[in-house]
Amino acid sequence: MTSAATGAGRYAPSPSGDLHFGNLRTAVLAWLFARQTGRRFLMRVEDIDTQRSSRESARRQLADLAALGIEWDGDVIYQSDLFDTYRAAIASLPHYECYCSRKDIQRASSAPHVAPGSYPGTCRDLSEVERASRRAELAAAGRVPALRLRAAATEWTVQDFYAGSYTGVVDDFILRRGGNADQGRDYAYNLAVVLDDGAAGVDQVVRGDDLLSSAPRQAYLAHVLGYPESSYVHVPLVLNADGARLAKRDGAVTLRQMLADASVTDVVTRLAESVGCPGVTTLDGLLGDFDPATLPREPWVWVG
């Protein structure tokens, strides 16, 4: 890999529970890619969902990462501290109110002329009279409309280290979700992640390959906001023995549970094996031995 004296990589966990092996593997890979290319490595806590996130969970996650030997540059960034930034960004972007319910969207997006998973623009061209009526209906129910980007593109192409050139759909995606009027801060992931990366100078995004389809939307928004194009590295996930993605909600084994019967060295050794470096027992050793070209391209299967 080439050196990048400027720029940064990052890891951005969601603090809704302790980190499991799949989370840790992605964190290690993000750290390796950043350090091997001379980038800073930043840590961001994605606690934009304040109902599911907690500072205590974030504290435990950061302690677990440090216990493995992952270190980062600068202070930890918390999305929950940045709502004013998100609000200001939306005001600067071309956007419109959306009054659709989930059922409305599911029904409209199933039409044959609509790209799978994309919003068909139902509320894009409503008249002011129609908007006033729909807005009043929501207000009577104590709710506010969602805000959507008024996109000027229908697709965008990104460059990924493993997937190569990847073109995906760009639609009028959500910037702020609708909901109860007393919330009004339910900012969307696609908005927050782009703003956070751009403000921090992140130009290398390493994450699970289940998020590859999100990259074109995010890259397009970064373009609209005037941020430089990022390089993407989408890595294979960790699956359980049944072939399903490891997930906190399904009881995936966490680092703290693993350490009840194993040492940190044991865990690091297993992480190293999973990224193609069997026998390596420390992150410093892994930094010297890891070759991105030898990372297994199939998902890693976790067997308890």
What CATH number has the domain bearing residue 95? 3.90.800.10
Whether residues 55 and 96 share a domain: the answer is no
pLDDT of residue 250: 62
Residues 232 and 166 in one domain: no
In a domain, 33, yes or no: no
Give which of 295, 294, 265 is closest to 282, Cα–Cα.
265
> What pLDDT does residue 246 have?
77
pLDDT value at position 116? 73
Q: Are residues 160 and 104 in the same domain?
A: yes
What residue type is assigned to position 99 of the chain?
Y
- The answer on whether 103 is annotated among ligand-binding residues is no
pLDDT of the residue at 2: 44
pLDDT of residue 245: 82
**86 carries a ligand binding annotation:** no
78 is in an annotated binding site: no
How far apart, in whole angstroms, are the C-alpha atoms of residue 246 and residue 147? 32
Can you give the residue range of the structural domain that contains 124? 86-180
Q: Where do we find the tokens 């990022």?
A: 230
Q: Within this chain, do residues 149 and 172 fall inside the same structural domain, yes or no?
A: yes
Ligand-binding site membership of 278 (annotated)? no
Query: Does 13 appear as a known binding residue?
Result: yes
Residue 100 known to bind ligand: yes
**CATH code of the domain in which 272 resides:** 3.40.50.620
Q: Which two tokens stand for residue 21?
A: 């092996």
* Element at 34 (helix H, strand E): helix 21-36
The pLDDT profile of the chain, 304 residues, written as one tens digit per residue, is 444 557 999 999 999 889 999 999 999 999 999 999 999 999 999 999 877 889 999 999 999 999 999 999 999 999 999 999 999 999 999 999 999 988 888 777 666 667 777 899 999 999 999 999 999 999 999 899 999 999 999 999 999 999 999 999 999 999 999 987 555 578 999 999 999 999 999 999 999 999 999 999 999 999 999 999 999 999 999 998 878 887 766 656 899 999 999 999 999 999 999 999 999 999 999 999 999 999 999 999 988 6
In a domain, 187, yes or no: no
Looking at the structure of the chain, the number of domains it has is: 2
Does residue 258 sit within a domain?
yes
In this structure, are 77 and 4 located in the same domain?
yes
pLDDT of res. 181? 57
- The residues with which 187 forms a beta bridge, in sequence order, are 176
Token pair, residue 166, equals: 């990847």
Q: For residues 85 and 177, what is the distance between their CA atoms, to the nearest angstrom? A: 16
69/90 same-domain check: no
77 and 93 co-located in one domain: no
Phi, psi of 189 (to 5 degrees): -60, -45
* 298 is annotated as contributing to ligand binding: no
Is residue 96 part of an annotated ligand binding site?
no
Residues 263 and 239 in one domain: yes
46 annotated as ligand-binding: yes
- The reply to whether 158 falls in a domain is yes
Whether residue 34 is contained in a domain is answered as no
Please give the pLDDT value at position 224. Answer: 98
Q: Is residue 300 part of a domain?
A: no
* 5 shares its domain with 69: yes
Residue 143 burial by Cβ neighbours in a 10 Å radius (0-12, 13-18, 19+): middle
Calpha distance 190→160 (Å, rounded): 18
